[in-house]
Structure 1
Amino acid sequence: MNHLTLEALLNEKLRPEMVKDYCPNGLQIEGKAEVKRVITGVTASQALIEKAIELEADALLVHHGYFWKGEPEPVRGMKGKRIRSLVKHDINLYAYHLPLDIHPELGNNARLADLLGIQVAGGLEEHPQSVAMYGTLSQPLDAEVFGQKIEQVLERKPLHISAGHKVIHTIGWCTGGGQDYIELAAAKGLDAFISGEISERTTYSAREQGVHFFSAGHHATERYGVKALGEWLAEHHELDVTFIDIDNPV
Structure 2
Amino acid sequence: MSDDHRFGDEADVAKAESAPPPAAPQIHEAPVHDQRPVPTVWGGNQVDRWDPVGNNTNVPARRSRRAPARPFMPDSSRVRKDERLRELMAEAPRYAALLNSYTAAQSGKEALANRNIQLYGLTAQGVANEITVDKALMRTMGLPTPRLIAAHYVDAVLDRVLHNLNPEGTDLDAMEAEKDYVWGLAQRALAYREYISEDPEIESLPKQRSQCPLRVSVNQRFSRMIDLLNAMPDATAQPFEMVSVCVAEYLDGLEVERPAFTAFWRKNLVTSYQ
Q: Please report the TM-score for the alignment, with normalisation by the length of structure 1.
A: 0.30
Answer with 1 or 2: which has the greater Rg.
2
Higher strand share: 1
Higher helix share: 2
Q: Please report the TM-score for the alignment, with normalisation by the length of structure 2.
A: 0.28
